[in-house]
Amino acid sequence: MKKTIYSCIAIFNFTLYLSMKSIWSGIEGMFKIHALQFIFLGIVSVLFILSIVLHFIKIKDKYLYIFMSFSLVLTIALFYMLYLGIDSYRYFVKAFVEILMYLMLTYFVYFIIFKFPTCKLSKNRLYKRLLFGTFVSLLVVISFDLEFHYVTNKPVVYAVENTYQIVWTTSTQSTAEVRIGDTIYYDLYAGSERSETTVHKVVVPMSVLDSIKSYTISSTHVFYRGPYSGVLGGTTEKTFQFYPVDTSDGLKYYTVSDTHTQNKSAIKAASYFEEDLDFLIMAGDIMNHIEDSSDAEVILQLAYDITQGEKPVIYARGNHEVKGTYADQLHRYVGSLNEKFYYTFNLANIYGVVLDLGEDHGDSWWEYYDTAQYDIYRNEQTLFLQEVIDEASYANPSVEYTLGICHIPVALVEDEFLDAILNEWAPLLNTFNFDVFISGHKHQLLAFSDDIPAITEFDYHENYRADDYSAGYRTNVNFTNFIASRRSASQSINIKENLFGGAFTGLAAEVSFDSNQTIFTFTNHLNEIVSAIDPYTGVLHENYTLPLD
Protein backbone atom coordinates (compact mmCIF):
# COMPACT_ATOMS: atom_id res chain seq x y z
CA MET A 1 0.00 0.00 0.00
CA LYS A 2 2.81 2.42 0.90
CA LYS A 3 4.51 1.72 -2.43
CA THR A 4 1.25 2.44 -4.25
CA ILE A 5 0.83 5.77 -2.45
CA TYR A 6 4.40 6.74 -3.27
CA SER A 7 3.90 5.71 -6.92
CA CYS A 8 0.78 7.86 -7.19
CA ILE A 9 2.63 10.90 -5.82
CA ALA A 10 5.65 10.32 -8.08
CA ILE A 11 3.51 9.79 -11.19
CA PHE A 12 1.47 12.89 -10.37
CA ASN A 13 4.62 15.02 -9.94
CA PHE A 14 6.09 13.68 -13.16
CA THR A 15 2.90 14.35 -15.11
CA LEU A 16 2.38 17.79 -13.57
CA TYR A 17 5.92 18.93 -14.27
CA LEU A 18 5.83 17.76 -17.88
CA SER A 19 2.52 19.58 -18.32
CA MET A 20 4.28 22.78 -17.19
CA LYS A 21 6.77 22.56 -20.06
CA SER A 22 5.48 25.79 -21.60
CA ILE A 23 6.82 27.77 -18.61
CA TRP A 24 10.03 25.80 -18.00
CA SER A 25 12.06 28.66 -19.42
CA GLY A 26 10.50 30.97 -16.84
CA ILE A 27 11.46 28.76 -13.89
CA GLU A 28 15.12 29.64 -14.29
CA GLY A 29 14.16 33.31 -14.37
CA MET A 30 11.90 33.01 -11.31
CA PHE A 31 14.55 31.53 -9.04
CA LYS A 32 17.73 32.81 -10.77
CA ILE A 33 19.33 29.35 -10.80
CA HIS A 34 20.93 28.29 -14.06
CA ALA A 35 19.26 25.26 -15.73
CA LEU A 36 16.92 24.83 -12.75
CA GLN A 37 14.14 23.58 -15.02
CA PHE A 38 16.30 20.65 -16.15
CA ILE A 39 17.41 19.90 -12.60
CA PHE A 40 13.73 19.60 -11.67
CA LEU A 41 13.14 17.42 -14.71
CA GLY A 42 15.93 15.09 -13.61
CA ILE A 43 14.56 14.87 -10.07
CA VAL A 44 10.94 14.12 -11.03
CA SER A 45 12.12 11.62 -13.66
CA VAL A 46 14.33 9.74 -11.19
CA LEU A 47 11.54 9.61 -8.60
CA PHE A 48 9.09 8.45 -11.28
CA ILE A 49 11.40 5.64 -12.44
CA LEU A 50 12.10 4.72 -8.83
CA SER A 51 8.36 4.38 -8.16
CA ILE A 52 8.24 1.71 -10.87
CA VAL A 53 11.40 -0.11 -9.79
CA LEU A 54 10.23 -0.33 -6.17
CA HIS A 55 7.38 -2.62 -7.21
CA PHE A 56 9.97 -5.24 -8.20
CA ILE A 57 12.36 -4.98 -5.25
CA LYS A 58 12.17 -4.95 -1.48
CA ILE A 59 13.00 -1.77 0.43
CA LYS A 60 12.94 -0.78 4.08
CA ASP A 61 10.03 1.36 5.16
CA LYS A 62 12.27 4.16 6.42
CA TYR A 63 13.72 4.67 2.93
CA LEU A 64 10.26 4.56 1.41
CA TYR A 65 9.11 7.25 3.85
CA ILE A 66 12.12 9.39 2.88
CA PHE A 67 11.24 9.12 -0.82
CA MET A 68 7.59 9.81 -0.05
CA SER A 69 8.38 12.87 2.07
CA PHE A 70 10.74 14.26 -0.55
CA SER A 71 8.07 13.74 -3.22
CA LEU A 72 5.48 15.58 -1.14
CA VAL A 73 7.86 18.52 -0.69
CA LEU A 74 8.39 18.47 -4.44
CA THR A 75 4.61 18.49 -4.97
CA ILE A 76 4.34 21.65 -2.86
CA ALA A 77 7.16 23.26 -4.86
CA LEU A 78 5.45 22.36 -8.14
CA PHE A 79 2.15 23.82 -6.96
CA TYR A 80 3.98 27.02 -6.03
CA MET A 81 5.41 27.22 -9.55
CA LEU A 82 1.94 26.50 -10.90
CA TYR A 83 0.58 29.38 -8.82
CA LEU A 84 3.20 31.77 -10.19
CA GLY A 85 2.25 30.77 -13.72
CA ILE A 86 -1.50 30.43 -13.12
CA ASP A 87 -2.18 32.75 -16.04
CA SER A 88 -1.17 29.81 -18.26
CA TYR A 89 -3.40 27.24 -16.58
CA ARG A 90 -5.08 26.48 -19.92
CA TYR A 91 -1.83 25.03 -21.22
CA PHE A 92 -1.20 23.04 -18.02
CA VAL A 93 -4.61 21.37 -17.98
CA LYS A 94 -4.47 20.42 -21.65
CA ALA A 95 -0.94 19.03 -21.41
CA PHE A 96 -1.68 17.23 -18.12
CA VAL A 97 -4.58 15.33 -19.68
CA GLU A 98 -2.55 14.45 -22.79
CA ILE A 99 0.41 13.14 -20.76
CA LEU A 100 -1.90 11.18 -18.49
CA MET A 101 -3.44 9.55 -21.56
CA TYR A 102 0.02 8.57 -22.84
CA LEU A 103 0.88 7.05 -19.46
CA MET A 104 -2.37 5.10 -19.46
CA LEU A 105 -1.64 3.88 -22.98
CA THR A 106 1.83 2.81 -21.88
CA TYR A 107 0.36 0.87 -18.98
CA PHE A 108 -2.18 -0.73 -21.32
CA VAL A 109 0.62 -1.96 -23.59
CA TYR A 110 2.44 -3.28 -20.52
CA PHE A 111 -0.75 -5.05 -19.41
CA ILE A 112 -1.27 -6.67 -22.82
CA ILE A 113 2.31 -7.94 -23.00
CA PHE A 114 2.96 -9.02 -19.43
CA LYS A 115 -0.33 -9.36 -17.55
CA PHE A 116 -2.96 -10.36 -20.07
CA PRO A 117 -1.46 -13.77 -20.99
CA THR A 118 -1.68 -14.89 -17.34
CA CYS A 119 -5.15 -13.57 -16.47
CA LYS A 120 -8.55 -15.22 -16.92
CA LEU A 121 -9.55 -12.77 -19.66
CA SER A 122 -6.96 -14.36 -21.94
CA LYS A 123 -9.17 -17.47 -22.05
CA ASN A 124 -12.30 -15.52 -23.03
CA ARG A 125 -12.72 -15.79 -26.83
CA LEU A 126 -15.26 -12.94 -27.06
CA TYR A 127 -12.96 -10.58 -25.15
CA LYS A 128 -10.00 -11.49 -27.34
CA ARG A 129 -12.02 -10.89 -30.50
CA LEU A 130 -13.23 -7.51 -29.23
CA LEU A 131 -9.67 -6.56 -28.32
CA PHE A 132 -8.34 -7.62 -31.71
CA GLY A 133 -11.16 -5.82 -33.50
CA THR A 134 -10.42 -2.64 -31.55
CA PHE A 135 -6.75 -2.77 -32.54
CA VAL A 136 -7.59 -3.32 -36.21
CA SER A 137 -10.16 -0.50 -36.20
CA LEU A 138 -7.71 1.95 -34.63
CA LEU A 139 -5.06 0.95 -37.16
CA VAL A 140 -7.43 1.60 -40.08
CA VAL A 141 -8.63 4.93 -38.66
CA ILE A 142 -5.08 6.17 -38.06
CA SER A 143 -3.69 4.85 -41.37
CA PHE A 144 -6.42 6.33 -43.57
CA ASP A 145 -7.27 9.42 -41.53
CA LEU A 146 -10.88 8.25 -41.15
CA GLU A 147 -12.42 11.12 -39.25
CA PHE A 148 -15.66 13.01 -39.56
CA HIS A 149 -15.08 16.03 -41.79
CA TYR A 150 -16.55 19.31 -40.55
CA VAL A 151 -15.67 22.95 -39.94
CA THR A 152 -14.11 23.33 -36.49
CA ASN A 153 -13.69 27.12 -36.53
CA LYS A 154 -15.95 29.24 -38.67
CA PRO A 155 -14.46 31.93 -40.91
CA VAL A 156 -12.89 35.22 -39.94
CA VAL A 157 -12.43 37.94 -42.56
CA TYR A 158 -9.13 39.78 -42.05
CA ALA A 159 -8.40 43.03 -43.91
CA VAL A 160 -4.87 43.24 -45.35
CA GLU A 161 -3.92 45.83 -47.98
CA ASN A 162 -6.70 45.75 -50.60
CA THR A 163 -7.70 42.15 -49.90
CA TYR A 164 -9.63 40.09 -47.41
CA GLN A 165 -7.96 36.98 -46.00
CA ILE A 166 -10.71 34.51 -45.09
CA VAL A 167 -9.52 31.96 -42.52
CA TRP A 168 -11.23 28.88 -41.08
CA THR A 169 -10.27 25.40 -39.85
CA THR A 170 -11.55 21.88 -40.41
CA SER A 171 -11.40 18.60 -38.51
CA THR A 172 -9.47 16.84 -41.28
CA GLN A 173 -6.84 17.79 -43.81
CA SER A 174 -8.62 19.24 -46.80
CA THR A 175 -8.62 21.66 -49.69
CA ALA A 176 -10.23 25.08 -49.36
CA GLU A 177 -12.21 27.33 -51.68
CA VAL A 178 -14.19 30.54 -51.33
CA ARG A 179 -16.93 31.27 -53.82
CA ILE A 180 -18.07 34.86 -54.29
CA GLY A 181 -20.75 35.17 -56.92
CA ASP A 182 -19.57 33.06 -59.86
CA THR A 183 -15.88 33.30 -59.01
CA ILE A 184 -13.93 30.74 -56.98
CA TYR A 185 -10.76 31.59 -55.04
CA TYR A 186 -8.42 28.90 -53.71
CA ASP A 187 -5.92 28.28 -50.93
CA LEU A 188 -2.92 27.69 -53.18
CA TYR A 189 0.75 26.93 -52.90
CA ALA A 190 2.68 27.58 -56.13
CA GLY A 191 -0.26 26.62 -58.34
CA SER A 192 -1.49 23.62 -56.35
CA GLU A 193 -4.36 23.51 -53.88
CA ARG A 194 -3.17 22.95 -50.33
CA SER A 195 -4.62 19.76 -48.89
CA GLU A 196 -2.25 18.62 -46.12
CA THR A 197 -3.58 21.18 -43.68
CA THR A 198 -6.56 21.82 -41.42
CA VAL A 199 -6.18 25.62 -41.42
CA HIS A 200 -7.30 27.40 -44.55
CA LYS A 201 -6.57 30.94 -45.70
CA VAL A 202 -8.07 32.17 -48.95
CA VAL A 203 -7.26 35.66 -50.22
CA VAL A 204 -10.00 37.49 -52.13
CA PRO A 205 -10.14 40.99 -53.64
CA MET A 206 -11.70 43.44 -51.23
CA SER A 207 -13.71 45.14 -53.97
CA VAL A 208 -15.35 41.87 -55.07
CA LEU A 209 -16.58 40.84 -51.61
CA ASP A 210 -17.64 44.40 -50.81
CA SER A 211 -19.79 44.34 -53.94
CA ILE A 212 -21.36 40.85 -53.65
CA LYS A 213 -21.71 40.99 -49.83
CA SER A 214 -21.74 37.23 -49.29
CA TYR A 215 -19.32 34.34 -49.62
CA THR A 216 -19.34 30.55 -49.41
CA ILE A 217 -16.51 28.55 -47.86
CA SER A 218 -15.94 25.01 -49.10
CA SER A 219 -13.54 22.31 -47.86
CA THR A 220 -13.05 18.84 -49.34
CA HIS A 221 -11.39 16.15 -47.27
CA VAL A 222 -8.45 14.44 -49.01
CA PHE A 223 -8.14 10.80 -47.91
CA TYR A 224 -5.09 10.16 -50.03
CA ARG A 225 -2.94 12.45 -52.11
CA GLY A 226 -0.46 10.47 -54.15
CA PRO A 227 1.95 11.56 -56.86
CA TYR A 228 -0.31 10.32 -59.68
CA SER A 229 -3.76 9.89 -58.16
CA GLY A 230 -5.79 10.62 -55.07
CA VAL A 231 -8.97 9.87 -53.17
CA LEU A 232 -11.30 12.67 -52.08
CA GLY A 233 -13.79 12.49 -49.26
CA GLY A 234 -16.73 14.61 -48.21
CA THR A 235 -17.18 18.33 -48.82
CA THR A 236 -18.51 20.88 -46.35
CA GLU A 237 -19.96 24.20 -47.48
CA LYS A 238 -21.44 27.16 -45.67
CA THR A 239 -22.52 30.60 -46.84
CA PHE A 240 -22.05 33.80 -44.85
CA GLN A 241 -23.35 37.30 -45.31
CA PHE A 242 -20.78 40.08 -45.30
CA TYR A 243 -21.23 43.72 -44.38
CA PRO A 244 -18.42 45.92 -45.73
CA VAL A 245 -17.53 49.12 -43.94
CA ASP A 246 -19.98 51.87 -44.82
CA THR A 247 -19.02 55.30 -43.52
CA SER A 248 -22.05 57.14 -44.91
CA ASP A 249 -23.51 57.27 -41.40
CA GLY A 250 -20.19 57.48 -39.55
CA LEU A 251 -17.97 54.71 -38.27
CA LYS A 252 -18.00 52.43 -35.23
CA TYR A 253 -15.20 50.06 -34.33
CA TYR A 254 -14.07 48.23 -31.21
CA THR A 255 -10.67 47.14 -29.92
CA VAL A 256 -9.81 44.14 -27.76
CA SER A 257 -6.33 43.14 -26.67
CA ASP A 258 -4.50 41.23 -23.94
CA THR A 259 -7.26 38.73 -23.28
CA HIS A 260 -4.59 36.04 -22.70
CA THR A 261 -6.77 33.02 -23.62
CA GLN A 262 -9.87 34.33 -21.80
CA ASN A 263 -12.41 35.23 -24.48
CA LYS A 264 -15.75 35.19 -22.70
CA SER A 265 -15.81 38.67 -21.16
CA ALA A 266 -14.05 40.25 -24.14
CA ILE A 267 -16.85 38.99 -26.40
CA LYS A 268 -19.41 40.62 -24.13
CA ALA A 269 -17.49 43.90 -24.06
CA ALA A 270 -17.14 43.95 -27.84
CA SER A 271 -20.92 43.65 -28.22
CA TYR A 272 -21.17 47.32 -27.21
CA PHE A 273 -22.18 48.49 -30.70
CA GLU A 274 -24.22 45.33 -31.37
CA GLU A 275 -25.14 45.13 -35.08
CA ASP A 276 -23.74 48.61 -35.76
CA LEU A 277 -20.12 47.47 -35.39
CA ASP A 278 -18.22 48.24 -38.60
CA PHE A 279 -15.00 46.37 -37.86
CA LEU A 280 -13.01 44.80 -35.04
CA ILE A 281 -9.41 45.47 -34.02
CA MET A 282 -7.52 42.71 -32.23
CA ALA A 283 -4.44 44.45 -30.84
CA GLY A 284 -2.47 41.40 -29.75
CA ASP A 285 -1.81 39.05 -26.84
CA ILE A 286 -5.01 37.12 -27.33
CA MET A 287 -2.86 34.15 -26.28
CA ASN A 288 -0.06 33.72 -23.74
CA HIS A 289 1.95 31.71 -26.26
CA ILE A 290 1.28 29.50 -29.26
CA GLU A 291 2.16 25.88 -28.47
CA ASP A 292 -0.05 24.13 -31.03
CA SER A 293 -2.88 24.70 -33.49
CA SER A 294 -5.53 24.81 -30.77
CA ASP A 295 -3.84 27.88 -29.27
CA ALA A 296 -3.84 29.73 -32.58
CA GLU A 297 -7.49 28.77 -33.02
CA VAL A 298 -8.43 30.66 -29.85
CA ILE A 299 -7.71 33.85 -31.80
CA LEU A 300 -10.07 32.70 -34.55
CA GLN A 301 -12.74 31.83 -32.00
CA LEU A 302 -12.63 35.28 -30.40
CA ALA A 303 -12.78 37.06 -33.76
CA TYR A 304 -15.65 34.91 -35.04
CA ASP A 305 -17.68 35.12 -31.85
CA ILE A 306 -17.59 38.92 -32.12
CA THR A 307 -18.03 39.33 -35.89
CA GLN A 308 -19.78 36.07 -36.93
CA GLY A 309 -17.66 36.12 -40.09
CA GLU A 310 -19.70 39.10 -41.30
CA LYS A 311 -17.44 42.06 -40.44
CA PRO A 312 -13.77 42.82 -41.19
CA VAL A 313 -11.10 42.19 -38.55
CA ILE A 314 -7.71 43.90 -38.19
CA TYR A 315 -5.06 41.88 -36.35
CA ALA A 316 -1.82 43.08 -34.75
CA ARG A 317 0.52 40.50 -33.21
CA GLY A 318 1.32 40.75 -29.51
CA ASN A 319 4.66 40.04 -27.86
CA HIS A 320 3.24 36.89 -26.22
CA GLU A 321 2.19 35.56 -29.61
CA VAL A 322 5.79 35.35 -30.78
CA LYS A 323 6.39 32.67 -28.13
CA GLY A 324 5.78 28.93 -28.32
CA THR A 325 6.65 25.98 -30.53
CA TYR A 326 3.83 26.73 -33.01
CA ALA A 327 4.28 30.50 -33.17
CA ASP A 328 5.92 30.35 -36.59
CA GLN A 329 2.61 29.05 -38.01
CA LEU A 330 0.50 31.88 -36.59
CA HIS A 331 0.54 33.76 -39.90
CA ARG A 332 -1.82 31.12 -41.35
CA TYR A 333 -4.49 31.90 -38.74
CA VAL A 334 -4.52 35.70 -38.77
CA GLY A 335 -4.12 38.68 -41.05
CA SER A 336 -0.51 38.77 -42.25
CA LEU A 337 1.56 39.63 -45.29
CA ASN A 338 4.41 37.45 -46.54
CA GLU A 339 4.38 35.60 -43.20
CA LYS A 340 4.95 38.87 -41.34
CA PHE A 341 2.69 41.03 -39.23
CA TYR A 342 3.13 44.54 -40.56
CA TYR A 343 1.07 45.83 -43.43
CA THR A 344 -1.34 48.52 -44.59
CA PHE A 345 -5.09 48.11 -45.03
CA ASN A 346 -7.91 49.95 -46.75
CA LEU A 347 -11.53 49.79 -45.63
CA ALA A 348 -13.82 52.11 -47.59
CA ASN A 349 -12.33 55.57 -46.96
CA ILE A 350 -10.16 54.36 -44.06
CA TYR A 351 -6.41 53.94 -44.44
CA GLY A 352 -4.52 52.01 -41.79
CA VAL A 353 -1.03 50.86 -40.88
CA VAL A 354 -0.31 47.84 -38.67
CA LEU A 355 3.15 47.52 -37.09
CA ASP A 356 4.80 44.82 -34.99
CA LEU A 357 7.52 45.60 -32.44
CA GLY A 358 7.95 41.90 -31.65
CA GLU A 359 9.23 41.05 -28.19
CA ASP A 360 9.18 43.45 -25.25
CA HIS A 361 12.86 43.02 -24.35
CA GLY A 362 16.10 43.41 -26.25
CA ASP A 363 17.33 40.53 -28.39
CA SER A 364 19.93 39.55 -25.78
CA TRP A 365 17.30 38.96 -23.07
CA TRP A 366 17.77 35.56 -21.40
CA GLU A 367 14.28 34.31 -22.33
CA TYR A 368 15.18 34.14 -26.02
CA TYR A 369 18.30 31.92 -25.71
CA ASP A 370 20.03 33.70 -28.64
CA THR A 371 17.18 33.11 -31.14
CA ALA A 372 15.66 36.62 -31.23
CA GLN A 373 16.48 38.90 -34.16
CA TYR A 374 13.81 41.54 -33.66
CA ASP A 375 16.17 44.45 -34.26
CA ILE A 376 16.42 43.27 -37.88
CA TYR A 377 12.64 42.85 -38.04
CA ARG A 378 12.01 46.36 -36.68
CA ASN A 379 14.51 47.86 -39.11
CA GLU A 380 12.61 46.17 -41.94
CA GLN A 381 9.56 48.10 -40.82
CA THR A 382 11.48 51.38 -40.96
CA LEU A 383 12.07 50.70 -44.65
CA PHE A 384 8.45 49.60 -45.00
CA LEU A 385 7.20 52.89 -43.54
CA GLN A 386 9.43 54.85 -45.88
CA GLU A 387 8.13 52.89 -48.89
CA VAL A 388 4.52 53.48 -47.84
CA ILE A 389 5.22 57.19 -47.42
CA ASP A 390 6.79 57.32 -50.89
CA GLU A 391 3.70 55.65 -52.38
CA ALA A 392 1.52 58.24 -50.57
CA SER A 393 -1.70 56.19 -50.79
CA TYR A 394 -2.65 57.56 -47.38
CA ALA A 395 -2.74 61.05 -48.94
CA ASN A 396 -5.38 60.08 -51.50
CA PRO A 397 -8.25 62.61 -51.34
CA SER A 398 -10.70 59.73 -50.83
CA VAL A 399 -9.10 58.87 -47.47
CA GLU A 400 -11.09 60.43 -44.63
CA TYR A 401 -9.68 58.53 -41.65
CA THR A 402 -6.18 57.26 -40.88
CA LEU A 403 -5.57 54.66 -38.20
CA GLY A 404 -2.39 53.16 -36.75
CA ILE A 405 -2.18 49.92 -34.76
CA CYS A 406 0.70 48.28 -32.89
CA HIS A 407 0.50 46.02 -29.84
CA ILE A 408 3.34 47.75 -27.98
CA PRO A 409 2.70 51.52 -27.78
CA VAL A 410 4.70 53.55 -30.29
CA ALA A 411 4.25 56.90 -28.53
CA LEU A 412 5.78 55.88 -25.20
CA VAL A 413 9.35 54.85 -24.45
CA GLU A 414 9.68 52.86 -21.24
CA ASP A 415 12.49 50.51 -22.21
CA GLU A 416 15.90 51.56 -23.46
CA PHE A 417 16.01 48.91 -26.18
CA LEU A 418 13.10 50.64 -28.00
CA ASP A 419 14.46 54.15 -27.55
CA ALA A 420 16.25 54.41 -30.89
CA ILE A 421 13.66 52.69 -33.09
CA LEU A 422 10.64 54.57 -31.71
CA ASN A 423 12.38 57.92 -32.08
CA GLU A 424 13.39 56.94 -35.61
CA TRP A 425 9.79 56.02 -36.38
CA ALA A 426 8.26 59.18 -34.86
CA PRO A 427 8.82 61.56 -37.83
CA LEU A 428 7.80 58.81 -40.26
CA LEU A 429 4.57 58.14 -38.37
CA ASN A 430 3.84 61.86 -38.16
CA THR A 431 3.73 61.96 -41.96
CA PHE A 432 0.51 59.93 -41.93
CA ASN A 433 -1.34 62.43 -39.71
CA PHE A 434 -3.02 59.55 -37.91
CA ASP A 435 -6.39 60.34 -36.40
CA VAL A 436 -5.48 57.88 -33.65
CA PHE A 437 -3.06 55.09 -32.84
CA ILE A 438 -4.31 51.97 -31.00
CA SER A 439 -2.16 49.72 -28.79
CA GLY A 440 -2.41 47.21 -25.98
CA HIS A 441 0.36 45.51 -24.01
CA LYS A 442 0.29 47.54 -20.80
CA HIS A 443 -2.96 46.05 -19.42
CA GLN A 444 -4.14 49.55 -18.60
CA LEU A 445 -6.78 51.97 -19.89
CA LEU A 446 -4.86 55.06 -20.90
CA ALA A 447 -4.59 57.79 -23.50
CA PHE A 448 -1.14 59.23 -24.21
CA SER A 449 -2.00 62.46 -26.00
CA ASP A 450 0.22 65.11 -27.53
CA ASP A 451 -0.64 67.31 -24.52
CA ILE A 452 2.14 65.41 -22.74
CA PRO A 453 5.49 67.15 -23.35
CA ALA A 454 7.65 65.15 -25.75
CA ILE A 455 11.06 63.68 -24.89
CA THR A 456 10.54 64.50 -21.21
CA GLU A 457 10.23 61.78 -18.60
CA PHE A 458 7.13 62.07 -16.44
CA ASP A 459 5.57 60.25 -13.51
CA TYR A 460 2.00 59.06 -13.63
CA HIS A 461 -0.33 61.58 -12.01
CA GLU A 462 -1.10 60.79 -8.37
CA ASN A 463 -4.81 60.55 -9.20
CA TYR A 464 -3.97 57.53 -11.33
CA ARG A 465 -1.02 56.09 -9.44
CA ALA A 466 -0.05 57.30 -5.99
CA ASP A 467 3.59 56.17 -5.98
CA ASP A 468 6.36 57.96 -7.88
CA TYR A 469 6.34 55.59 -10.82
CA SER A 470 7.95 56.83 -14.01
CA ALA A 471 5.84 56.37 -17.12
CA GLY A 472 8.91 56.88 -19.31
CA TYR A 473 8.61 59.59 -21.93
CA ARG A 474 6.42 60.37 -24.92
CA THR A 475 8.07 60.44 -28.32
CA ASN A 476 7.55 63.46 -30.53
CA VAL A 477 4.50 62.06 -32.34
CA ASN A 478 1.54 64.17 -33.38
CA PHE A 479 -1.25 61.77 -32.43
CA THR A 480 -2.90 60.22 -29.38
CA ASN A 481 -1.91 56.63 -28.60
CA PHE A 482 -4.60 54.70 -26.71
CA ILE A 483 -3.91 51.65 -24.54
CA ALA A 484 -7.07 49.73 -25.21
CA SER A 485 -7.79 46.86 -22.84
CA ARG A 486 -7.63 45.46 -19.35
CA ARG A 487 -8.96 42.26 -17.76
CA SER A 488 -10.98 44.24 -15.26
CA ALA A 489 -14.27 46.12 -15.12
CA SER A 490 -12.51 49.37 -14.12
CA GLN A 491 -9.35 51.37 -14.78
CA SER A 492 -8.01 51.23 -11.23
CA ILE A 493 -4.68 49.43 -11.03
CA ASN A 494 -5.44 48.77 -7.35
CA ILE A 495 -7.95 46.18 -8.55
CA LYS A 496 -6.11 43.11 -9.78
CA GLU A 497 -6.93 41.79 -13.21
CA ASN A 498 -9.26 38.81 -13.40
CA LEU A 499 -7.03 36.04 -14.75
CA PHE A 500 -9.94 33.68 -15.39
CA GLY A 501 -11.97 35.79 -17.79
CA GLY A 502 -14.49 37.15 -15.33
CA ALA A 503 -14.08 40.79 -16.38
CA PHE A 504 -12.82 42.81 -19.33
CA THR A 505 -12.73 46.38 -20.62
CA GLY A 506 -12.04 47.38 -24.22
CA LEU A 507 -12.13 50.53 -26.33
CA ALA A 508 -15.12 51.71 -28.38
CA ALA A 509 -14.60 54.31 -31.10
CA GLU A 510 -17.39 56.26 -32.77
CA VAL A 511 -16.42 58.50 -35.69
CA SER A 512 -18.65 61.29 -36.96
CA PHE A 513 -17.54 62.72 -40.28
CA ASP A 514 -20.28 65.35 -40.07
CA SER A 515 -18.99 66.79 -36.80
CA ASN A 516 -15.38 65.92 -37.70
CA GLN A 517 -14.56 64.06 -34.49
CA THR A 518 -14.07 60.66 -32.88
CA ILE A 519 -15.41 59.78 -29.44
CA PHE A 520 -13.40 57.09 -27.64
CA THR A 521 -15.04 55.31 -24.72
CA PHE A 522 -13.75 52.50 -22.53
CA THR A 523 -16.53 49.97 -21.97
CA ASN A 524 -16.57 46.77 -19.94
CA HIS A 525 -18.15 43.32 -20.27
CA LEU A 526 -21.35 44.65 -18.70
CA ASN A 527 -21.50 47.25 -21.50
CA GLU A 528 -20.96 49.95 -18.89
CA ILE A 529 -18.88 53.04 -19.62
CA VAL A 530 -15.61 52.95 -17.68
CA SER A 531 -14.34 56.39 -16.72
CA ALA A 532 -10.59 56.81 -17.09
CA ILE A 533 -8.12 59.12 -15.39
CA ASP A 534 -5.70 60.88 -17.71
CA PRO A 535 -2.22 59.57 -16.79
CA TYR A 536 -0.64 63.03 -17.13
CA THR A 537 -3.25 65.60 -16.05
CA GLY A 538 -5.13 63.43 -13.57
CA VAL A 539 -8.46 64.56 -15.05
CA LEU A 540 -11.27 61.98 -15.03
CA HIS A 541 -12.76 61.35 -18.49
CA GLU A 542 -16.00 59.56 -19.26
CA ASN A 543 -14.79 59.57 -22.85
CA TYR A 544 -12.19 61.24 -25.05
CA THR A 545 -13.15 63.40 -28.03
CA LEU A 546 -10.50 63.84 -30.70
CA PRO A 547 -10.84 66.03 -33.81
CA LEU A 548 -10.20 64.44 -37.19
CA ASP A 549 -6.97 65.59 -38.83
**Does residue 293 surpass a pLDDT of 90?**
yes
pTM exceeding 0.75: yes
Q: 140 - beta bridge partners?
A: none
Question: Do 317 and 160 touch, CB atoms closer than 8 A?
Answer: no
Domain spans, the chain: 2-116, 151-156+165-241, 251-547
Closest by CA position to 524, among listed 228, 324, 229, 265: 265
Question: Do 499 and 243 touch, CB atoms closer than 8 A?
Answer: no
pLDDT digits (tens, 9 = 90+) for 499-529: 888 999 999 999 999 999 999 999 999 999 9
Predicted confidence band of residue 257 (pLDDT cuts 50, 70, 90): very high
Predicted confidence band of residue 125 (pLDDT cuts 50, 70, 90): confident
* Mean local confidence (pLDDT), 227-239: 90
Question: Do 291 and 22 touch, CB atoms closer than 8 A?
Answer: yes
Question: Do 208 and 172 touch, CB atoms closer than 8 A?
Answer: no
CA 114 – CA 109 distance, rounded (Å): 9
Q: Which residue has the higher pLDDT, 67 or 430?
A: 430
**Does residue 144 surpass a pLDDT of 70?**
no
Q: In what order do the strands lie in the sheet with 343-347?
A: 343-347, 350-355, 401-406, 436-439, 481-483, 446-448
Cβ-based neighbours of 274, under 8 Å, separated by 6 or more: none
CA 161 – CA 346 distance, rounded (Å): 6
Alpha helices in 54-122 (DSSP H): 61-84, 89-110
Predicted confidence band of residue 231 (pLDDT cuts 50, 70, 90): confident
Of the CATH numbers 3.90.700.10, 3.40.50.11440, 3.60.21.10, 3.40.605.10, which one belongs to the domain with range 251-547?
Answer: 3.60.21.10
- Is 251-547 the same fold as 151-156+165-241? no
* pLDDT of 249: 93
Predicted confidence band of residue 119 (pLDDT cuts 50, 70, 90): confident
**Does residue 123 surpass a pLDDT of 80?**
no
**Does residue 338 surpass a pLDDT of 90?**
yes
pLDDT digits (tens, 9 = 90+) for 353-377: 999 999 999 998 877 888 899 999 9
**Does residue 30 surpass a pLDDT of 80?**
no
CATH code for residues 151-156+165-241: 2.60.40
Predicted confidence band of residue 145 (pLDDT cuts 50, 70, 90): low
Mean pLDDT of the chain: 92
CA 200 – CA 238 distance, rounded (Å): 14
* pLDDT of 161: 98
**Does residue 480 surpass a pLDDT of 90?**
yes
Residue 496 DSSP label: P
